[in-house]
Structure 1
Amino acid sequence: MTQRGNRRELLADAATEVLARDGGRGLTHRAIDREARVPEGTTKNYYPTRNALFEAIAHHLAERHVAALEALCTHIPDDVGPDHVTALYAAMLHRMSGNARAQFLALFELHLEGVRNPEVRALLGRISRASVDTAVQLHSAVGRRISRRGAGLLDAGMLGVALSALSLPRDLVGELGLDDADGIGRALLSLAATRDHGALEVLTDWAG
């Protein structure tokens, strides 16, 4: 990778951290310069406008997300079973509020920006399509079928649960069971693979 490529990646990483920590209002060229520890004006040379900043972050997260899911699908073990898939989605929920918290907070900010910015919206679509494709492939690998609509519901449900778990008061998160990654993972997978007429029963079973 060229030095310029390395600098772009450095700035995109720093911009992701700033967006996650300070939100859209705090996403400034100077804040990214400080986060990346580069001379003032560096970020503006690479990404002259705020739109360019948002698009750079969206592109950065999309590249990482798609690459990770492609690697996952390329190395699905021959003995993978339904329990492994359930554990994987539970682990994803744990990561959203754990060591990948900054990336997901930035992603939620991008979803708000995507309402107004078509370039960001297109990159978010790339992330969602990769998640849907992966869900379909994983279910197929364990001998189960899931439609793309079901996989889309699963993706949206994962994001919604993660957003609530990160933004709601902790006592309410616990009261609603939104910190039960294993249980929610099972419920979302079951709901996604169930026809509409069975959805209520799936949710009722999870609610206990």
Structure 2
Amino acid sequence: MTQRGNRRELLADAAIEVLARDGGRGLTHRAIDREARVPEGTTKNYYPTRNALFEAIAHYLAERHVAALEALCAHIPEGVCPDDITALYAAMLSRMSGNARSQFLALFELHLEAVRNPEVRTALGEISRASVDTAVQLHSAVGRRIGRRGAGLLDAGMLGVALSTLSLPGELVEDLGLDDAEGLTRALLTLGGTRDEPALEVLRDWAG
């Protein structure tokens, strides 16, 4: 990778941290310069406007997300079973509010920006499309069918749970069972139409 490429990646990672920590209003060229520890004016040289900043972050996250899911689908192990799929999605759900917290906080800020910015909306569409394609392929690998609408519902549900987990008071998250990654995953997979168990039974078990 060229030095210019490395600098763009450095700035994008710094911008994600700033957006996650300070929100859209705090996303400034100077804040990113400070976060990346580069000379003042560096970010503005690469991304002259705020729109350019949002679009760069969105496309950067989309590229990483799509690449990760393509790698996952290219290396589905032999003997994978439905329980493995459940465990994978539960791990993803935990990661959203765990070690990938900054990326998902930034992602939610981008969803707000996408209401007004078509370029950001396009990038978020790439993320959602890749998630849907992956769900279809993973479930096909274990002999289960999930339609694109069901996979879309699964993706939206995962994002909604992650947003609630990150934004609601901790005691309420626990009270509502939103910290039960495995139980929530089973319920979301059921809503998506991928489980053999009767939907009402699975949802009733999770809801207590």
What TM-score does the superposition give when structure 1 sets the normalisation length? 0.96
1:103 aligns with 2:103: yes
Please show how residues 1-208 of structure 1 align to structure 2 within 5 Å.
1-193=1-193, 202-208=202-208
Structure 1 regions of 5+ residues with no counterpart? none
Identity rate, percent: 86
Number of residues of Structure 1 aligned to a counterpart in Structure 2: 206
What TM-score does the superposition give when structure 2 sets the normalisation length? 0.96
Q: Which letter maps to 1:15?
A: A
Q: CA–CA distance in 1 between the matches of 2:199 and 2:51?
A: 40
Shift of 1:205: 3.4
Q: CA–CA distance in 1 between the matches of 2:94 and 2:137?
A: 22
2:33 touches 2:39 (CA, 8 Å); kept in 1?
yes
Q: Which letter maps to 2:175?
A: E
SS at match of 1:76: coil
Q: CA–CA distance in 1 between the matches of 2:53 and 2:200?
A: 42
Q: CA–CA distance in 1 between the matches of 2:194 and 2:76?
A: 24
Q: CA–CA distance in 2 between the matches of 1:190 and 1:199?
A: 6
1:69 touches 1:130 (CA, 8 Å); kept in 2?
yes
Shift of 1:203: 2.8
Q: CA–CA distance in 2 between the matches of 1:27 and 1:200?
A: 44
Partner deviation per Cα, 1:123-149 (whole Å, 9 max, x = no partner):
000000000000000000000000000
Structure 2 regions of 5+ residues with no counterpart? none
Partner deviation per Cα, 1:177-197 (whole Å, 9 max, x = no partner):
0000011011101110169xx
Q: CA–CA distance in 2 between the matches of 1:100 and 1:78?
A: 28
1:191 touches 1:202 (CA, 8 Å); kept in 2?
no
Partner deviation per Cα, 1:140-184 (whole Å, 9 max, x = no partner):
000000000000000000000000000000000000000000110
CA RMSD of aligned residues (A): 1.3
Q: Which letter maps to 1:11?
A: L
Q: CA–CA distance in 1 between the matches of 2:127 and 2:200?
A: 28
Q: CA–CA distance in 1 between the matches of 2:66 and 2:99?
A: 18
Q: CA–CA distance in 2 between the matches of 1:206 and 1:46?
A: 48
Q: CA–CA distance in 1 between the matches of 2:97 and 2:39?
A: 32
Q: CA–CA distance in 1 between the matches of 2:146 and 2:168?
A: 31
Runs of 4+ in 1 over 4 A off after TM superposition: 198-202
Q: 1:82 to 1:194 in 2, by over 3 A?
A: closer
SS at match of 1:205: helix
Q: CA–CA distance in 2 between the matches of 1:85 and 1:107?
A: 24
Q: CA–CA distance in 2 between the matches of 1:108 and 1:151?
A: 20
